[in-house]
């Protein structure tokens, strides 16, 4: 833990140095304010994937030595399954239905400081908040009859997670053209998650027969690892 914190402080210090650095060399990097860029991650076989957000990753150049990155990830999954079981000879029958709803939202924003190394290469450091929200609900219903006896069981599980933390990056950007750059960076995230889970079992009554509620908090400090990406400026 002490080693990781030391690395984080070194990155913070490096960012402050970057913000103070001035370089008189000509650079191919965009220096005009309010220039935007879309960012993509370069995967195996040169396929493009997510970078700072699976839905969108935007970068705005604020000045020659600073910029702002904004990433959003949204994932939704809704399913509805119905099944029917019978025994032969018909002594029992079961109808099973299951509904699942899931949505995940994460937002990361970074303020980036950069300093030119060469005319077309810049080093940068970034720091900013990260926010994540996740909701999951699953409802399964089992209606059955066996030897003239009818039974019904409904199981509902609800889980909500909220996370808030800090993200830090350090990397290098190489401008292969005036409006296209290749970048490589390392990212480290510290996040605190709050989780609440509720499970209800109902045997056909209006009031749940069994309810289980759990709450928990988790702190995570981890490295995302190295990423290779491309920025397209416009």
For 171-212, the pLDDT digits (tens) are 999 999 888 999 999 999 999 999 999 998 887 665 567 888
Q: Where does residue 107 rank: exposed (0-12), middle (13-18), buried (19+ CB within 10 A)?
A: middle
The whole model's pTM is what?
0.69
> How does pLDDT run across 111-135, given as a tens digit for each residue?
999 999 988 999 999 999 999 999 9
How far is it, in rounded angstroms, from Cα 105 to Cα 136?
Answer: 12
As beta bridge partners, residue 211 has 200
Q: Are 126 and 69 in contact (CB under 8 A)?
A: yes
Write out the H or E segment, with its range, that includes residue 165: strand 149-177
- 8-12, 42-46, 149-153: range with highest mean pLDDT: 149-153
pLDDT computed for residue 56 by the predictor:
81
> Prior bond to 89 cis, omega within 30?
yes
pLDDT for 10? 41
- Element of type H or E holding 3: helix 2-20
Q: What is the mean pLDDT of residues 77-104?
A: 74
Strand partners, 199: 157, 212
pLDDT at 207: 59
148 contacts: CB under 8 Å, gap ≥ 6: none
Q: Which two tokens stand for residue 97?
A: 């239905």
Average pLDDT over residues 215-220: 95
């Amino acid at each position: 833990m002490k080693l990781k914190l030391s690395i984080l402080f070194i990155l913070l210090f490096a960012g402050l140095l970057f913000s103070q650095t001035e370089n008189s060399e000509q650079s191919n990097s965009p220096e005009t304010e309010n220039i935007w860029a879309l960012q993509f991650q370069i995967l195996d076989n040169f396929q493009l994937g997510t970078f700072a957000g699976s839905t969108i990753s935007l970068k705005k150049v604020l000045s020659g030595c600073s910029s702002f990155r904004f990433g959003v990830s949204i994932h939704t999954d809704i399913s509805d399954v119905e099944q029917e079981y019978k025994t032969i000879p018909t002594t029992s029958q079961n109808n099973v239905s299951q509904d699942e709803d899931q949505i995940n939202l994460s937002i990361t924003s970074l303020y980036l400081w950069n300093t030119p190394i060469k005319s077309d290469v810049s080093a940068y450091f970034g720091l900013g908040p990260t926010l994540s929200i996740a909701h999951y609900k699953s409802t399964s219903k089992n209606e059955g009859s066996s030897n003239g006896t009818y039974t019904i069981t409904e199981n509902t599980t609800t889980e909500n997670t909220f996370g808030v933390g800090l993200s830090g990056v350090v990397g290098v950007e190489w401008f292969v053209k005036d409006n296209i750059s290749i970048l490589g960076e390392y990212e480290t995230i510290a996040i605190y998650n709050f989780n609440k889970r509720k499970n209800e079992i109902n045997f056909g009554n209006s009031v749940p027969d069994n309810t289980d509620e759990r709450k928990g908090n988790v702190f995570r400090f981890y490295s995302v690892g190295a990423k290779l990406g491309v920025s397209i400026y416009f």
